[in-house]
Structure 1
């Protein structure tokens, strides 16, 4: 049995993370890894914040920073500012960040 593909990969100076954001959710949390519209894996994250004036993007960065124990300034949106599908860049020790992401997804049952 092969392991499912992960929505994150090592990149120069950090990690690239594919996310599908569900704003105005009933709770903050992750749904685990789901298949994106292009067939690639994405980490689906639900947030209470509405998609208005960047509120959901700010909440996404704050949520990831809190869950991964990182500074908000180390997380940036590379593409998808106004879309549900986003590519994020997390600056730092790539292998350590990937280990945190894998643990987080595993604990969430995703």
Structure 2
């Protein structure tokens, strides 16, 4: 039995009615986009510099738009100063798996 599907899904998990996401960010990219998986986390390239919280603000706004939730429906739970982030998505009907489609 293969564990590959579990490893591919390790970056997202349901938590009650919310989703918890493990992300790896590459700030300062040409455009904001999904870049696949990176060591069990979803890798996102961000078109924002990693200074004065600009990358975090851009990330939260992009995720709110993608998941079609208000900005307060996306919560940075950990990793404020790191490329590794844990994000909570509240109230979305979209599955995070669609990000890789």
TM-score by length of 1: 0.80
Q: Displacement of 1:13 after TM fit?
A: 3.7
Q: Which residue of 2 aligns with 1:26?
A: 30
Deviates more, 1:80-89 or 1:67-76: 67-76
Gaps of 5+ in 2: none
CA root-mean-square deviation: 1.5
Note if 1:76 corresponds to 2:75.
Answer: yes
Question: Counterparts of 1:1-110 in structure 2 under 5 Å?
Answer: 2-3=4-5, 4-6=7-9, 7-35=11-39, 41-92=40-91, 96-97=93-94, 99=95, 101-106=96-101
Secondary structure of 1:18's partner? Answer: strand
Name the count of aligned residue pairs. Answer: 97
Matched residue SS, 1:26: coil
Structure with the greater relative contact order (CA < 8 A, sep ≥ 6): 1 or 2? 1
By how many angstroms is 1:12 displaced? 3.0
> Any idea what the Cα deviations from partners look like across 1:50-70, whole Å, max 9, x if unmatched?
111111000000111112212
Structure 1 segments unaligned to the other structure (5+ residues): 36-40
